[in-house]
């Protein structure tokens, strides 16, 4: 069935460094959305992409439906970036499939 | 099996009116979500219920948006008073296994506020 494999499951960064999160899809997805879950449990929308790339500040996301993946790049990580990041992909047929999440910890 | 149903499919309201959107989740699902969908933002979570208890209430939407789950098979989203910026598609979704399980969406209600 439609599945999303998100990696890594956990990531530790020092302030000022960067890395990338990735979601691989087992089927062609129509769009992808990236969220961050903050310490209070609220979901924050980061990006919504049907194709291509989007950038916002220190975050950049890309989505390639043909190659079945999406990435979220974080540069110059700050302490407040800590949290759990999820991707969610629109699988069609009114179905949205979530990745398992990446727990990011940014330390001084 | 019936999927998620939403009514009405279309709604037109004047600024300041009260509108109520309705949702019936997939039978047996414990989790119900209300989202607003726009082309720019994608999905924005309005409310999340687990076993009829409100678990998340989207901070930016609290003042005029209120979702209720009267029983395990019926939920409403009230917008009061409506504003033109509320024009969007409102989606209801349900899942079986929790917040991050696969969510099944209804067809949505397209709201136009004049």
Question: DSSP labels for A26-80?
Answer: SS--SEEEEEEE-TTS-EEEEEEESSEEEEETTEEEEEETTTTEEEEEE-S--GG
Q: State the average pLDDT for chain A.
A: 89
CB spacing of B104 vs A31 below 8 angstroms: no
Residue B83 contacts residue B63 (beta carbons within 8 Å): no
Residues of chain A in Cβ contact (below 8 Å) with chain B: 2, 31, 33, 41-43, 45, 48, 86, 88, 94-98, 100-101
C-alpha pair distances (Å), B68 with each of A84, B62, B108 = 28, 13, 17
What local confidence, expressed as pLDDT, does residue A94 receive? 62
Q: Which domains does chain A have, with CATH numbers?
A: 4-107 (2.60.40.10)
What per-residue confidence (pLDDT) applies to A85? Answer: 94
CB contact under 8 A, B43 and A88: yes
Is B105 within 8 Å of A42 when comparing Cβ atoms? no
- In tens, the pLDDT along A63-76 reads 999 999 999 999 99
The predicted pLDDT at position B59 comes to 64
Which pLDDT value is given to residue A65? 94
pLDDT of residue B103: 78
Q: Do B105 and A95 touch (CB under 8 A)?
A: yes
What confidence tens digit (pLDDT) does each residue in B46-83 have?
A: 898 999 988 877 666 678 999 999 899 999 999 999 99
Contacting residues of B for A48, CB less than 8 Å apart: 40-43
**B44 contacts A96? CB cut-off 8 A:** no
Report the pLDDT value the prediction gives residue A93, as an integer from 0 to 100.
62
**Of the partner residues A43, A48, A101, the one whose CB lies closest to the CB of residue B45:** A43
Q: What percent of chain B clears pLDDT 70, i.e. is strictly above it?
A: 90
Q: What is the pLDDT of residue A96?
A: 78
Collect all residues of chain A within an 8 Å Cβ-Cβ radius of residue B44: 45
Instruction: Return the pLDDT at B34.
Output: 93
> Which residue of B42, B59, B107 is the best one to mutate when testing the A interface, meaning the one whose CB has the most A CBs within 10 A?
B42
Note down pLDDT in tens along chain A; length 108 residues.
668 899 999 999 999 999 999 999 999 998 898 988 766 555 677 888 889 999 999 999 999 999 999 999 999 999 999 999 999 988 766 677 888 889 999 999
Is A96's CB within 8 Å of B4's CB? no
Q: Give the strands of the sheet with B74-79, arranged side by side.
A: B5-7, B19-24, B74-79, B65-71
């Amino acid at each position: 069935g439609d599945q999303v494999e998100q990696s890594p499951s956990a990531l530790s960064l020092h302030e000022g460094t960067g890395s990338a999160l990735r979601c691989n899809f087992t089927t062609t997805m129509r769009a992808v959305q990236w969220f961050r879950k903050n310490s209070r449990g609220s979901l924050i929308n980061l990006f919504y992409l049907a194709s291509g790339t989007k950038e916002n500040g220190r975050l950049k996301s890309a989505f390639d439906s043909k190659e079945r993946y999406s990435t979220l790049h974080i540069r110059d990580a700050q302490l407040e970036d800590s949290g759990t990041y999820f991707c969610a992909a629109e699988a069609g047929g009114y179905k949205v499939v979530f990745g398992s999440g990446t727990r990011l910890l940014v330390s001084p | 099996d019936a999927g998620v149903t939403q009514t009405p499919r279309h709604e037109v309201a004047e600024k300041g009116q009260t509108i109520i959107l309705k949702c019936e989740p997939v039978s047996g699902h414990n989790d119900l979500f209300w989202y607003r969908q726009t082309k720019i933002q994608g999905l924005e979570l309005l409310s999340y219920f687990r076993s009829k208890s409100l678990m998340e209430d989207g901070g930016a939407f609290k003042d005029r948006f209120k979702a209720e789950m009267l029983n395990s098979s019926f939920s409403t989203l009230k917008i009061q008073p409506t504003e033109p910026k509320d024009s969007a598609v409102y989606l209801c979704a349900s899942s079986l296994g929790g917040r991050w399980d696969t969510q099944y969406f209804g067809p949505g209600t397209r709201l136009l506020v004049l």
